[in-house]
């Protein structure tokens, strides 16, 4: 094993150990509070629902531990068993080493590496989610979703990978800047086209029917000067009883989307508060800021990749006699998660700040906090949310504040109307 492979293996083991420890820490914390609903959250759930939420959290944690171990073993095998060099040699022997063939190799490898996740994903959907009453999808629809996803990866991923590799050939040492521009342009184009061409492949979107709710939400949009092409309901219930709301697209393609399950679960003022929260993200420019941060992160990552791609020891560490940009992209993609995991608390802290700001915006628009608090409480109840996560665990895994944290930050707003 080379000198560089050793710290990579250490990082892999440390990440796996940290994830298992965090799951264990959270499990103990949840069990310590399992006797009754926390005093500060009385009324969120009855005792029977709270007990189910505890069991749901514990079952999900056990599955997550299994996924952590499995993914770590698979990654270690891929990196250190010689499988990648063998596969690369076989592929180039059959198809050659042209840029198009290398792009196909990267795409095929990515698809192949997603296959070990399928059994656990299937178990999550048809055993765990089924057990707690959330699954509504069928075997046929589940597999059809994966087939559609695969075809989209091929249709969109192959041209993008090919373009990046071509840019590396055409632009010399500054290829990473050109590649960054291509990736950023692709992201923006996808954001525009996804609501029109991609999302309808998976779900049916229908205009929100005429009536009090539609008028209420349109008045909110007018009051907040939020222009949207339409308010639509998505048939999320054909896959799960979990619920959500979001807006998607840019400019004239922007639309507000409500899960049908959300419409069924919340009262009209609560739905208005949820939408006000989502509009708050837009008005506070959270989406733009996140896009800029992501773009800067991609720029830094590509620059770092351009440096290691020149180093022969980087390829030899994983069994390759020599390398190229395609192999560097593959290896860098496999290794990046070993580092970015440790920065997730900082990323989630930033995301939580945005959630608090969007909550405050919603309360300001509603002139009270009770509607938003009521919506958050119902969503936690219906989704069997974990009311008592360990703070360290939530720091690593929760992009949103806990229910109790959100209620505390809404404390300055009236809890009832009027």
Whole-Å CA distances, 291 to 156, 185, 191, 283: 20, 12, 11, 15
Pairing of strands 245-248, 205-207: unpaired
Q: Catalytic pick from 359, 368, 381, 407?
A: 359
Residue for token digits 């799951």? 23
Is 260 among the residues known to form the active site?
no
Among the options 129, 278, 355, 368, which is catalytic?
278
Tally the residues of the chain: 418
What does each C-alpha distance from 91 to 49, 178, 191, 237, 249 come to in angstroms?
A: 53, 27, 34, 42, 39
Rounded Cα–Cα distance for residues 249 and 51 (Å): 39
- 220 by Cβ neighbours in 10 Å (0-12 / 13-18 / 19+) ranks as buried
* Spatial distance between the Cα atoms of 208 and 206, rounded to a whole number of angstroms: 6
Q: How far apart are CA 269 and CA 287, in angstroms?
A: 25
Q: How far apart (Å, rounded) are the C-alpha atoms in residues 182 and 172?
A: 15
Q: Which helix (H) or strand (E) segment is 247 a member of?
A: strand 245-248
Kindly tell me the burial class for residue 1, based on how many C-beta atoms sit within 10 Å of its own C-beta (0-12, 13-18, 19 or more). Answer: exposed
CB of 195 closer than 8 Å to CB of 255: yes
**Closest listed residue to residue 386, CA positions, set 121, 124, 61:** 61
Residue 270 is among the residues annotated as catalytic for this protein? no
Q: Where are the alpha helices (DSSP H) in 35-98?
A: 47-80, 83-95
Q: What CA–CA distance (Å, rounded) separates 134 from 112?
A: 29
Enzyme catalytic residues? 278, 359
């Amino acid at each position: 094993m080379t000198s560089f492979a050793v710290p990579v293996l250490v990082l892999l083991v440390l990440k796996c150990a940290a994830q298992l420890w965090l799951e264990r820490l959270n499990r103990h914390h949840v069990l310590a509070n399992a006797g009754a609903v926390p005093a500060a959250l009385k009324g969120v759930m009855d005792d029977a629902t709270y007990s189910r939420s505890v069991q749901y959290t514990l079952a999900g944690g056990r599955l997550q531990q299994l996924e952590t171990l499995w993914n770590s073993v698979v990654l270690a095998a891929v990196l250190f068993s010689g499988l990648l060099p063998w596969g690369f040699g076989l592929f180039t022997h059959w198809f050659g080493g042209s840029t198009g063939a290398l792009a196909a190799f990267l795409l095929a490898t990515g698809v192949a590496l997603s296959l070990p996740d399928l059994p656990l994903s299937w178990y999550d959907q048809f055993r765990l989610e089924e057990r707690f009453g959330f699954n509504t999808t069928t075997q046929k629809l589940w597999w059809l979703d994966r087939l559609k996803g695969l075809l989209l990866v091929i249709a969109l991923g192959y041209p993008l990978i090919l373009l990046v590799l071509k840019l590396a050939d055409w632009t010399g040492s500054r290829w990473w800047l050109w590649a960054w521009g291509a990736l950023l342009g692709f992201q923006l184009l996808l954001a525009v086209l996804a609501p029109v061409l991609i999302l309808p492949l998976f779900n049916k979107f229908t205009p929100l029917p005429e009536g009090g709710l539609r008028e209420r939400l349109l008045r909110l949009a007018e009051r907040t000067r939020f222009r949207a092409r339409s308010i639509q309901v998505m048939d999320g219930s054909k896959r799960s009883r979990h619920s959500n709301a979001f807006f998607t697209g840019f400019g004239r393609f922007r639309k507000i989307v409500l899960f049908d399950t959300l419409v069924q679960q919340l009262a009209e003022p609560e739905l208005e508060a949820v939408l006000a929260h989502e509009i708050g993200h837009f008005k506070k420019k959270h989406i733009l800021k996140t896009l800029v941060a992501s773009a800067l992160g991609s720029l830094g990552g590509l620059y770092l990749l351009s440096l290691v791609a020149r180093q022969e020891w980087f390829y030899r560490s994983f069994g390759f006699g020599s390398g190229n940009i395609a192999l560097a992209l593959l290896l860098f993609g496999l290794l990046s998660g070993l580092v970015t995991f440790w920065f997730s608390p900082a990323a989630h802290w930033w995301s939580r700040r945005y959630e608090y700001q969007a909550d405050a915006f919603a309360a300001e628009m509603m002139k009270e906090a009770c509607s938003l608090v009521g919506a958050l409480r119902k969503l936690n109840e219906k989704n069997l949310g974990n009311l008592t996560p360990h703070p360290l665990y939530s720091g690593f895994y929760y992009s949103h504040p806990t229910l109790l944290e959100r209620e505390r930050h809404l404390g300055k707003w009236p809890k009832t109307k009027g």
